[in-house]
Structure 1
């Protein structure tokens, strides 16, 4: 009873400060849904919905000291229901076999792939000899053929390779199938053939009209500002990154300035701030308006309208929607004369985002954005009222920029390292000399260019904008060239990031000295991260690539092919070498095409291709054989047929020796990775068709 009384006292002490915990509880429910290995049935959702209704009613009708605990459980159940409803609502047809042939569709999105190829997303897809009921809703094709003039809304035809979205490169890794499910992508692939026009642009829909306007603005900007500068300007204005080269992108990533490229909270906040400040200043110069009208609220309405236009022109992706909701929440708070920047406002924005797009919780953009915002608001709220009179006038804004960059950098560093397996030690310095330029030069110049464009006078403003972006690119290139600018980080276990986040949130949201108890889970998470171990062996889901851990690092079975998977493995190992270097580490190349690696109690044998399969002479019962062809033997054989069911493999140390873990075991049976699709894929599999890039 004494413990219950202590909990009751602690909860009473949090009254008035519990609302920011609401999105945390909803996020816990969403995370629970995505962590399940079996898709919940209708009965489960019915029980959870009943609990939400009954628990919500009890909390409202009979409030008490323990009501926050019941409310938290209700919100967790609500999070599971929201994620499940969203997953079923976005369900669309998926390609369930590997396809090569004519592809026809309407262009609804344009961007660039990791290989620096133009990539187009098509809807209203037509494939040869394919039942209309089985046609994917959308397909995404990387264009490796001759250059084509791709126009939004244009109906095009080409000959391409398509396949269903692939699973994780290794068990427990990023699941592209889940990502594609929520994007509505039913197939991905590439084409090396010319892309020809089948019909002129169809822009009858509002979304296509906005898409066409976006690309027209992007082309106009790149015509004024050529090269990476123009591509950077188009990216921060319309969200079109197709004009950015890979060298510039890598420099921005290595210097921790890649966030300036995405239209996120920084850009949306700067734009709204510039418009709000400019309108308020302009209205204050007119005494009749300044004395009779609420110019602060008028400026907030104008900034909200500008942010909405920016959202539409940027393509309305998830990151920009999230940024708009956060900015809109702050501006609406101004309209209702509430504090614009508070943890309640951040919590409200997070609740809206999670309600509209529960899957956003799993994206690094959501995690980094709200980590930075929550940390900034928490720290500056704690510093509010502190005496800064001793600082010189010029030092106050400089100190503000330094603190903002340092706090945001510290808050997002673990998330970035966990998702991208790298840290940028000089990122704080690069941000200190780049973010002020973005806020004081680039964004104001972009706003001025937008205002002057109807009169054909945007050239001067774009020139100023280009000077600011040239500075940022020069800083990124310089910092990226420094030794140790990009330091690899080993991939953490699945529990590390949730435990670390929970500890950080406890410190920021809990009131009183007990908040510092949040340091314990943070220390535990960092300890688990530092002790993370990588699999002894990894196998691609095609069987075409095997990677084994040696004293020198991961050794790969071949120097070329399956480069995307090889890159992910090496990144997760915290290894910056390329595939060819990793292939040279293989301890016993042996003779012929078959590769062997001695494991504890057996041998891992890689048999890639038909010639290797013909040369295969059998195996011992304790061996593990990986093959791209059908094989028979007394050992544990993973050939193409079996790999289609298991997905990628990892070999881990276990209590009785080594154990094989499959991607299907980790991912489970979910909407986006049904076994039926795999069986159909094998039935239509043509080994002559290369794997899509």
Structure 2
């Protein structure tokens, strides 16, 4: 589902909320419209919107009220309230109100990938809707029913393709930044999956809830199961196509900012100046692959390590291929290899006490047993220990032990023009009341650097 570009269907968020509330709105309004005494005298559209609002709240409750679902409910509620108040429902103002409401309740959401991707897609689609709203529709009163049916079918396919493409392009930078993946066949997968979800899976799910008091839910659930099987088949088929996905290296925050700023400019600015957004997007894409890549990585608990070999690829410490951090290191490096293959590198020489490797001209020792500490404290330039290293370990320029990892978190070391630059999670995080504050080493000279013991106050 992820590789085919259909993972968003699994999230109980905007798509589910829209389909569920939209189904209630459409069905109830159609039912009320079939009763002339009501349709001609009362605001049945507002009644349907009010019922959809209640249904959306019910769906939020039974879904578990996860943060993405709450965001979708807030956005849907604002749209439905706009209908009830005779205000335009699909506008940038409503998107801004939804974002403001969410950030008041959960301001940390601004760093959440699902928040970023949801609003990127919504803003792009609303901008598309506003751009097309003023287009004049052709008169179809004098054409045949067959032609109108064919035209409606074509417009439905065209609209699904355009909205999928626009939403996919809007969310692609965030997917590349956070997950290091780009899916190429999302358009085809969504064109196949959207009718299944919209016309079969979600309506049957709603009907099964309605039928539960009558003990008839097994019928719609069986139909829903057929739809789910078809959905999984689409995902498996599209993901198996050649070149369905690429693993891309980490993108710098500056590049993402330029791309997002350019995209917002295109969506929010009108007139000739709108085209200036393309320049920012182009600059962001041009600089996307320029982020520095670490040459040595140490996991926060000292159970995994990776070093960049002479071939430019990361080699994993033997036995660390099952570690979650090690798998993410490869993805962030744009490396599509299986972690087990990356852990079979000859870069490490290991015995029962630990492993040895090299970082440029520096000797790196990874110790699992204190019995090897005395020898490696004399010969290693960089020493990494899963235990508390002895205080008399004076040889290595850099010592990272259990105390250092506890205080600073994970480590990343960079070789820059013969010198060594060190980053830690604690350094990037900064001083926080709930975190231990330590002194992190910025850089070490080339040659024989002065000894630095990270983790000491």
State the alpha-carbon separation in 2 of the partners of residues 586 and 352 from structure 1.
54
Deviation at 1:332, TM superposition (A): 0.6
Matched residue, 1:96: none
Unaligned residue ranges in structure 1 (runs of 5+): 1-251, 677-693
1:323 to 65, 69, 72: 72
**Counterpart contact for 2:321–2:339, Cα < 8 Å:** no
State the alpha-carbon separation in 1 of the partners of residues 91 and 431 from structure 2.
41
- Residue 123 of structure 2 corresponds to residue 368 of structure 1: no
Other structure's SS at 1:538 match = strand
Matched residue, 1:603: 363
Other structure's SS at 2:287 match = helix
- Residue 373 of structure 2 corresponds to residue 624 of structure 1: no
1:649 to 411, 426, 431: 411
**Counterpart contact for 2:409–2:425, Cα < 8 Å:** yes
Deviation at 1:604, TM superposition (A): 2.4
- Residue 37 of structure 2 corresponds to residue 309 of structure 1: no
State the alpha-carbon separation in 1 of the partners of residues 45 and 222 from structure 2.
31
**Counterpart contact for 1:401–1:436, Cα < 8 Å:** no
**Counterpart contact for 1:503–1:521, Cα < 8 Å:** yes
After TM superposition, the structure 1 = structure 2 runs for residues 222-241 of structure 1, keeping only pairs within 5 Å, are none
After TM superposition, the structure 1 = structure 2 runs for residues 235-634 of structure 1, keeping only pairs within 5 Å, are 252-387=1-136, 389=138, 392-550=151-309, 551=311, 553-560=313-320, 563-589=323-349, 593-613=353-373, 616=376, 618-619=378-379, 623-629=381-387, 630-631=389-390, 632-634=393-395
**Counterpart contact for 1:424–1:485, Cα < 8 Å:** yes
**Counterpart contact for 2:304–2:323, Cα < 8 Å:** no
State the alpha-carbon separation in 2 of the partners of residues 671 and 364 from structure 1.
26
Deviation at 1:536, TM superposition (A): 1.1
Matched residue, 2:442: none
- Residue 425 of structure 2 corresponds to residue 663 of structure 1: yes
Matched residue, 1:105: none
Deviation at 1:671, TM superposition (A): 4.3
State the alpha-carbon separation in 1 of the partners of residues 217 and 185 from structure 2.
35
Other structure's SS at 1:548 match = strand
**Counterpart contact for 2:49–2:83, Cα < 8 Å:** yes
Deviation at 1:538, TM superposition (A): 0.7
**Counterpart contact for 1:503–1:520, Cα < 8 Å:** yes
From the superposition, tell whether residues 264 and 618 of structure 1 become closer, same or farther in structure 2 (CA, over 3 Å). Answer: same
From the superposition, tell whether residues 674 and 552 of structure 1 become closer, same or farther in structure 2 (CA, over 3 Å). Answer: closer
Deviation at 1:611, TM superposition (A): 4.7
**Counterpart contact for 1:283–1:290, Cα < 8 Å:** yes
Aligned length: 423
Other structure's SS at 1:490 match = coil
2:401 to 636, 639, 643: 639
State the alpha-carbon separation in 2 of the partners of residues 261 and 592 from structure 1.
45
State the alpha-carbon separation in 1 of the partners of residues 434 and 338 from structure 2.
32
Deviation at 1:637, TM superposition (A): 1.3
State the alpha-carbon separation in 1 of the partners of residues 234 and 45 from structure 2.
37
From the superposition, tell whether residues 564 and 581 of structure 1 become closer, same or farther in structure 2 (CA, over 3 Å). Answer: same
State the alpha-carbon separation in 2 of the partners of residues 503 and 655 from structure 1.
34
Matched residue, 1:131: none
Other structure's SS at 1:464 match = helix
**Counterpart contact for 2:322–2:339, Cα < 8 Å:** no
**Counterpart contact for 2:250–2:334, Cα < 8 Å:** yes
After superposition, what is the alpha-carbon deviation per residue over 1:162-186, rounded to whole angstroms, capped at 9, x for unaligned? xxxxxxxxxxxxxxxxxxxxxxxxx
Other structure's SS at 2:356 match = strand
Matched residue, 2:441: none
After superposition, what is the alpha-carbon deviation per residue over 1:618-660, rounded to whole angstroms, capped at 9, x for unaligned? 236xx11111122412222111122222211111133561211
**Counterpart contact for 1:264–1:319, Cα < 8 Å:** yes
**Counterpart contact for 1:536–1:549, Cα < 8 Å:** yes
State the alpha-carbon separation in 2 of the partners of residues 484 and 454 from structure 1.
48
Other structure's SS at 2:220 match = helix
Other structure's SS at 1:625 match = strand
Deviation at 1:579, TM superposition (A): 2.7
From the superposition, tell whether residues 362 and 501 of structure 1 become closer, same or farther in structure 2 (CA, over 3 Å). Answer: same
**Counterpart contact for 1:554–1:585, Cα < 8 Å:** no
Other structure's SS at 1:618 match = helix
Other structure's SS at 1:275 match = helix
Deviation at 1:577, TM superposition (A): 2.2
Unaligned residue ranges in structure 2 (runs of 5+): 141-149, 439-457
After superposition, what is the alpha-carbon deviation per residue over 1:278-318, rounded to whole angstroms, capped at 9, x for unaligned? 11100011111111110010000000000000001111111
Q: Flag the structure with more relative contact order, 1 or 2, with Cα contacts below 8 A and sequence separation at least 6.
A: 1
Other structure's SS at 1:596 match = strand
Deviation at 1:588, TM superposition (A): 4.8
